[in-house]
A and B are shown apart, each in its own frame.
Chain A
Amino acid sequence: MRFVDEYRDPQAAKELIVAIKRLSDRLGRKLRFMEVCGGHTHTIYRHGLEQLLPEAVEFVHGPGCPVCVIPMGRVDDALWLAAQPGVILTTFGDMMRVPGGHKASLLQAQAAGADVRFVYSPLDALKIARDNPDRQVVFFAVGFETTSPSTAVTVVQADRLGVENFSVFSNHVLIRPPLEAILGTGGLQLDGFIGPGHVATVVGSDHFRFIPAEHGLPIVITGFEPLDILQAVDMLLSQYRDGRCEVENQYARVVLPGGNPEALRLLGEVFTLRETFEWRGLGYIPLSGYGLAPRYQRFDAERRFQVPGRRQADHPACQCGLVLTGQLKPWECRVFGKGCTPEDPIGTCMVSPEGACAAYFNYGRLHREAAAAFA
C-alpha cells in the first residue's frame, strides 16, 4: 500500500482500512458522507483516500472552502474598492486570483497599477494602515469562524489605537447556515458528516448538535491528516452499526465541546449577523454572514466607501455551485480541465488549493494510480 506508507502511522492506517471494509460489508449499504471542510477535501484527494475505501463509502464534497463560496459580485466590489483613489486593498493570497465578472481578478488589477497587497494576517493590514496614514487601507476579509475572530481582534485593536484610515470589507460567513441549506433542499442524499476540525476549535463540537438533533444524521469532528479522516469514517460507520446518531469528536486533542470562548465573545462583540448574504452556488441565505456591529461601524468599508454591492451571475459555463453543494463531482463539470484550470480558472473551486476542483486537478493522477493499484 504505497499510498498509506507516507501516513503518520501506516500500520494504524492499514488496520483502519480493514476495519472500515469489514464494517461496510456488515452494514451492506451505500453510505455518503459529506466532508464539510476544504482542507479535508484536499487531504482526501492528496492521499487518494477514496480509492482506499470500499465503494460503498462515498465522500461528498461540501461548502467549507471560504474562497470558493464568495460570489463574483463581492469580488467585483473588492475590485471597485481597489480602484478608489488612495486605497490600498489588502487580502489573503488565495483571494488574489479569484475571478470576478469578466474573469478580472485582484492580481490583474494589481498588474494594471492598483495598490493591492496580499497579507498573511489582518494584523499585517492594520500595520500597513499605521505605516501609511495618508492612505485608506481596506482589508478584504473572507473566512468562516476559524478566521473571523482574527479580524475581530484586529478591529478592536484599530479602535483602541485610533487607526482611522483602516477598514474591513467583511465577507465573513458562518458554517451552520450553508449546512442547514444543503440539508433543507432534500435533493442530496447524505448519511453523515465529517466535521470541520479548525472551525470547531472556535465554535466547539457542541455547535454541530443540530445535525443529529434536527436532521437525524451523525457527525464526527476530525483533524486534517489522512489517519484522522479514516478514523472519522470508522466512527461514522460504527454509529450506524450501533444504532447511534450523535456528534463525536475525533479531534479532541485540539477541539473542545465549547470551542474557544474568547473567540466567540469577540465575534459577538465586533460583528452582527447580516439579514442575508449571497453564497456562490447556494444563493442568498438568511443570517449567514457577518457585518460589523454598530459599535464598530466606522471601520466598515461598505459604509465608508458606499460600495456598490454588485450582483453578478456566475459564468454561464461554471458549475461551481453544484460542486460546492456536493451534487457534481469536479471532473463532471463541463469546463473542468478544459476552459477552467488552476492557471486560468473560471470558477472559485479551481482557484483555492482547498477547492475540490483544484485538489482533483492537482492530485487526480494519484487518485487514478491509487485506483489502479487497488483494482
Chain B
Amino acid sequence: MCLGIPGEVVELHDGDLATVAVSGVRRDISLGLLDGVTVGDWVLVHVGFALSKIDEAEAAATLDQVKRLGRVWDEEIEAYSETQIR
C-alpha cells in the first residue's frame, strides 16, 4: 500500500494537476504535495500524488524492480489505470 511508483510528467493542468505516465498508463495525479514540477520530470507517485522528484535512471531502475513484485505490481497498475480524479 505504501508503494511509490515512478512516473513521467507528460502534461501540466490547472489546479495543481498533471498527466503522468506510469509504464505507459497515462492518468491525472495531483501536484499538491510537490512544488516546481515540469513536463519531462520523473516523480514518485503514491495514491495519486507526486511525493518526490527522482532522476530518470533511478526511475527506470525502480520501475524495473517494482515490476518484479508480481501481483503487487499488477494490482498497483490496475488501480492506477482506474483513477479518474478530474
- Comparing A36-44, A51-59, A72-80, A294-302, the segment that makes contact with chain B is A36-44
Measured between alpha carbons, how far is A223 from B30 in the docked complex, in Å? 23
A46 within 8 Å of B by Cβ?
Answer: yes
Measured between alpha carbons, how far is A144 from B44 in the docked complex, in Å? 17
Measured between alpha carbons, how far is A202 from B80 in the docked complex, in Å? 21
Nearest A residue to B17 via CB reads: A123
Quick one: given A93-B79, A124-B85, are A150 and B65 in contact (CB under 8 Å)? no
Quick one: given A127-B84, A260-B34, are A201 and B49 in contact (CB under 8 Å)? no
Is B4 a contact partner of A147 (Cβ separation < 8 A)?
Answer: no
B3 within 8 Å of A by Cβ?
Answer: yes
Quick one: given A225-B62, A352-B1, A354-B2, are A254 and B44 in contact (CB under 8 Å)? yes
Smallest distance from the beta carbon of B33 to chain A beta carbons, Å? 5
Residues of A within 8 A of B35 (CB): 262
Smallest distance from the beta carbon of A130 to chain B beta carbons, Å? 10
Is B33 a contact partner of A266 (Cβ separation < 8 A)?
Answer: yes
Report how many A-B pairs have Cβ atoms within 8 Å: 127
Measured between alpha carbons, how far is A147 from B60 in the docked complex, in Å? 23
Measured between alpha carbons, how far is A254 from B44 in the docked complex, in Å? 9
Is B55 a contact partner of A123 (Cβ separation < 8 A)?
Answer: no
Q: List 21 A-B contacts (CB under 8 A).
A: A38-B1, A46-B68, A66-B2, A119-B83, A120-B80, A121-B83, A122-B48, A124-B82, A127-B84, A143-B47, A146-B51, A147-B47, A150-B47, A156-B32, A157-B32, A224-B62, A225-B62, A225-B65, A254-B44, A260-B33, A263-B51
Residues of B within 8 A of A64 (CB): 2
Is A120 a contact partner of B58 (Cβ separation < 8 A)?
Answer: no
Q: Interface digits, A155-176 against B, CB 8 Å rule (1 contact, 0 not)? A: 0110000000000000000000
Interface size grouping (class) on chain A: 35 or more
Q: Interface digits, B57-86 against A, CB 8 Å rule (1 contact, 0 not)? A: 010011011101101100100011011111
A-B pairs, top 8 by smallest CB distance, nearest first, are A121-B48, A123-B85, A120-B83, A153-B32, A120-B79, A150-B49, A225-B65, A94-B1
Nearest A residue to B66 via CB reads: A224
Residues of B within 8 A of A153 (CB): 30, 32-33, 49
Interface centre among B1, B32, B58 (most CB of A within 10 A): B1
Is B1 a contact partner of A8 (Cβ separation < 8 A)?
Answer: no
User: How many residues of chain B are within 8 Å of chain A by beta carbon?
Assistant: 37
Measured between alpha carbons, how far is A143 from B51 in the docked complex, in Å? 15
B26 within 8 Å of A by Cβ?
Answer: no
Measured between alpha carbons, how far is A38 from B2 in the docked complex, in Å? 8
Smallest distance from the beta carbon of A365 to chain B beta carbons, Å? 13
Measured between alpha carbons, how far is A42 from B65 in the docked complex, in Å? 12
Residues of B within 8 A of A262 (CB): 33-35
Is B69 a contact partner of A121 (Cβ separation < 8 A)?
Answer: no
Nearest A residue to B54 via CB reads: A254
A318 within 8 Å of B by Cβ?
Answer: no
A353 within 8 Å of B by Cβ?
Answer: yes
Is A123 a contact partner of B48 (Cβ separation < 8 A)?
Answer: yes
Residues of A within 8 A of B47 (CB): 92, 120-122, 143, 147, 150
Is B2 a contact partner of A93 (Cβ separation < 8 A)?
Answer: no
B19 within 8 Å of A by Cβ?
Answer: no
Is B51 a contact partner of A202 (Cβ separation < 8 A)?
Answer: yes
A198 within 8 Å of B by Cβ?
Answer: yes
Is A149 a contact partner of B2 (Cβ separation < 8 A)?
Answer: no
> Beyond the given A8-B65, A121-B83, A353-B72, could you list 4 further A-B residue pairs with CB under 8 A, ordered by the A residue number?
A143-B1, A143-B47, A201-B4, A354-B1
